[in-house]
Amino acid sequence: MSPELKEKIDNLVKQNKILVFMKGTKLMPQCGFSNNVVQILNTLGVPFETINVLDDYEIRQGIKEYSNWPTIPQVYIDGEFIGGSDILIEMYQKGQLQEKVTIALAS
């Protein structure tokens, strides 16, 4: 990954308390897994931003290397990589996601 791309992704992750790298947008998810993540975050009623990886091939490939995670969507909360759809669903069901989001938004 180029230093420029790493810096670009670093900045996106730092600038947004909750950020989802996904296929599509929060209003128009382009895959079921991305839609799951959007629905969970909408259910929690928290502000979040999305990056449509379909609009930027460099980010689509680079984010996988950045997080060392092979799939999309990818969720970052308060600068920390959380995981994808399955992990978010599990955390939501256990009540861990609400807690993590609340702490992040309060900081």
**Residue ranges per structural domain of the chain:** 3-106
CA-to-CA distance for 53 and 30, rounded, in angstroms?
10
Question: Does the pLDDT of residue 72 top 90, yes or no?
Answer: yes
Question: Does the pLDDT of residue 107 top 90, yes or no?
Answer: no
pLDDT of res. 28: 95
Mean pLDDT of the chain: 95
72 close to 34: Cβ distance less than 8 angstroms: yes
83 close to 63: Cβ distance less than 8 angstroms: no
Over residues 19-63, the pLDDT tens digits come to 999 999 999 999 999 999 999 999 999 999 999 999 999 999 999
pLDDT of res. 94: 96
Q: In the chain, what are the helix, strand and coil shares in percent, each to the nearest 5?
A: 55, 20, 25
Report the CATH architecture of 3-106.
3-Layer(aba) Sandwich (3.40)
* Total-model pTM: 0.94
